[in-house]
C-alpha cells in the first residue's frame, strides 16, 4: 500500500511541473528594450567652498596705495611721478624744464614697477621702484635725464612708503601711523605726513606727533619744513605753512607763509622746494612760487 501511495504522489508532482513549464498565451509579446550608447551624466560634486576671512582678504601690506611724488631742481626744472601700485600697476615718471608748462614722460628702464620714492638733483635723478610680486624696493639712478638707469646707492632717492612700512636708508621700518601720506628723511631727522598730524623724530628715537589740521604734504628747507594744508579758515585753496625741522615737540605750532588761492584743497596735493623755489602740484595744476610759498 505504501508503495502505491508513493507512485501516485510522484505522478501528481510530475504533472504539476509539466503544467508550470508549458508556454503561456497571455497576449502579444512586448518590444525588446533598447539601450543608448551615451552614458548617463555623472553628478559632479561641488568644488565651491565658502571663503574664509583669511583666504579671501588681501595679504597684509601687499598693496601700497597710489601716491603723487614731486622733486624740484630749480624754478624751471622738476620731476614728478604717479606712483602706481604694488599690485602690478607701473608708476609714471615725468620731467619738465619749463616750470611745469609741459611734461615729458621718461622710461624707467627694465626695473618697472611702482615708484615709491623720488629725489632729483642738479646732475642726477633717483627713484625707488617696487618690483616683482613682493614689491621689493630697488634704487635706480640716472645721470642723463632718464635715458639710461643704473643701480643707485641706498638713500639716493630719499625716503619712501612701501607695502611693509617706511623705506629709509637704514632699511624698512614700521610707520608711526596706519596710513602714511608722505615721508622725508634727512641726515638726522625723519618726518612723516599722517592724517591731521606730522610725525617727527631724530635718529631712531621715539616719534613726536605734531597736530596739523589738514596737512597734505611736506618739503624741507634747511632748518624748517614747508607744509601744504587744506581746510584752513584763512585760505580758500591750499595754505602754505612752516614748522621747525629740529627741536620739535607736540606743542610745536605752524607759521603761515602764503596761500595758493587758485587751487582746490580737495584735490590730490604734493609739495616740494629747491631753495626759495616752491612747487605745488594740486589736481591738474602745477604752480611755482619763487619766494618760499608766499605768492604763486
From 118, 146, 174, the end of a domain falls on 174
| 31 within a domain of the structure (yes/no) | no
CATH number at residue 226: 2.120.10.60
The Cα-based distances of 84 to 66, 68, 162 in angstroms read 5, 9, 12
What is the predicted pLDDT for the residue at 13?
A: 41
Q: How confident is the model at residue 266 (pLDDT cuts 50, 70, 90)?
A: very high
User: What does the pLDDT read at residue 64?
Assistant: 58
2 or 77, which is more confident? Answer: 77
Query: Do 191 and 294 share a domain, yes or no?
Result: yes
Please indicate, yes or no, whether residues 72 and 100 belong to a single structural domain of this protein. yes
Q: What does the CA dihedral 155, 157, 162, 164 come to, rounded to 10 degrees?
A: 0
Q: What is the model's pLDDT at position 16?
A: 40
* Average pLDDT estimate for 8-12: 43
Task: Note the pLDDT of residue 242.
Answer: 98
Distance of alpha carbon 84 from alpha carbon 241, whole angstroms: 29
d(CA 127, CA 139): 6
Last residue in a domain, options 174, 192, 225: 174
| Same domain, yes or no: 155 and 224 | no
Q: Which of 169, 167, 250, 149 is nearest to 208 (CA)?
A: 250
Residue 194 sits in the same domain as residue 282? yes
Percent of the chain surpassing pLDDT 90: 73
Provide the percentage of residues in the chain whose pLDDT is more than 70.
Answer: 78
Same-domain check for residues 269 and 204: yes
pTM for this predicted structure: 0.78
Range of the domain at 287: 178-296
32 has a pLDDT exceeding 50: no
Q: Tell me, yes or no, whether 33 lies in a domain.
A: no
Q: Are residues 184 and 292 in the same domain?
A: yes
206 and 159 fall within a common domain: no
Is residue 92 located within the same domain as residue 154? yes
Residue 16 or residue 123, greater confidence = 123
Number of domains in the chain: 2
- Please report whether residue 81 resides in a domain: yes
Please report whether residue 20 resides in a domain.
Answer: no
What is residue 10's predicted lDDT score, i.e. its pLDDT?
52
If asked whether residues 168 and 229 sit together in one domain, one would say: no
Q: Is residue 46 part of a domain?
A: no
pLDDT at residue number 240: 98
Q: Are residues 186 and 249 in the same domain?
A: yes
In the predicted structure, residue 38 carries a pLDDT above the cut 80 = no
Ranking 33-42, 183-192, 213-222, 234-243 by mean pLDDT, the lowest is 33-42
Q: What is the mean predicted confidence (pLDDT) over 49-67?
A: 40
Q: Are residues 163 and 202 in the same domain?
A: no
Q: What is the pLDDT of residues 94-150, one digit of tens each?
A: 999 999 999 999 999 888 899 999 999 999 999 999 998 889 999 999 999 999 999
Residue 175 grid cell: 610707520
Convert the pLDDT of each residue in 60-102 to its tens digit.
Answer: 333 557 899 999 999 999 999 999 998 889 999 999 999 999 9
Answer yes or no: is 223 within a domain: yes
Residue 98, domain member (yes or no): yes
Identify whether the C-beta of residue 210 lies closer than 8 Å to the C-beta of residue 200: yes
Of the candidates 172, 253, 245, the one whose C-alpha atom is nearest the C-alpha of residue 215 is: 253
Residues 155, 124 contacting (CB under 8 angstroms): no
Q: Tell whether 197 and 270 lie within a shared domain.
A: yes
Domain boundary among 118, 140, 174: 174
Amino acid at each position: 500500500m505504501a508503495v502505491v501511495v508513493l507512485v501516485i504522489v510522484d505522478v501528481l508532482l510530475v504533472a504539476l511541473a509539466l503544467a508550470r513549464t508549458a508556454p503561456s498565451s497571455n497576449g502579444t509579446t512586448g518590444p525588446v528594450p533598447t539601450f543608448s550608447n551615451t552614458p548617463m551624466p555623472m553628478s559632479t560634486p561641488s568644488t565651491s567652498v565658502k571663503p574664509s576671512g583669511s583666504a579671501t582678504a588681501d595679504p597684509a601690506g601687499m598693496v601700497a596705495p597710489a601716491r603723487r611724488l614731486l622733486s624740484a631742481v630749480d624754478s624751471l626744472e622738476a620731476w614728478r611721478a604717479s606712483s602706481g601700485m604694488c599690485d602690478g600697476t607701473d608708476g609714471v615718471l615725468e620731467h619738465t624744464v619749463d616750470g611745469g608748462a609741459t611734461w615729458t614722460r621718461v622710461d624707467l628702464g627694465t626695473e618697472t614697477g611702482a615708484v615709491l620714492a623720488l629725489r632729483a638733483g642738479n646732475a642726477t635723478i633717483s627713484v625707488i621702484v617696487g618690483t616683482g610680486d613682493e614689491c621689493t624696493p630697488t634704487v635706480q639712478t640716472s645721470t642723463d635725464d632718464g635715458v639710461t638707469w643704473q643701480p643707485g646707492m641706498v638713500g639716493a632717492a630719499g625716503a619712501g612708503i612701501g607695502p611693509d612700512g617706511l623705506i629709509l636708508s637704514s632699511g624698512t621700518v614700521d610707520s608711526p601711523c596706519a596710513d602714511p601720506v608722505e615721508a622725508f628723511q634727512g641726515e638726522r631727522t625723519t618726518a612723516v605726513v599722517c592724517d591731521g598730524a606730522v610725525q617727527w623724530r631724530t635718529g631712531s628715537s621715539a616719534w613726536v606727533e605734531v597736530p596739523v589740521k589738514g596737512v597734505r604734504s611736506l618739503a624741507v628747507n634747511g632748518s624748517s619744513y614747508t607744509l601744504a594744508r587744506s581746510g584752513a579758515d584763512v585760505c580758500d585753496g591750499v595754505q602754505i605753512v612752516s614748522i621747525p625741522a629740529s627741536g620739535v615737540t607736540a606743542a610745536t605750532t605752524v607759521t603761515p607763509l602764503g596761500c595758493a588761492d587758485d587751487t582746490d584743497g580737495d584735490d590730490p596735493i604734493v609739495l616740494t622746494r629747491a631753495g626759495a623755489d616752491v612747487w605745488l602740484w594740486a589736481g591738474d595744476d602745477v604752480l611755482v612760487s619763487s619766494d618760499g610759498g608766499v605768492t604763486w
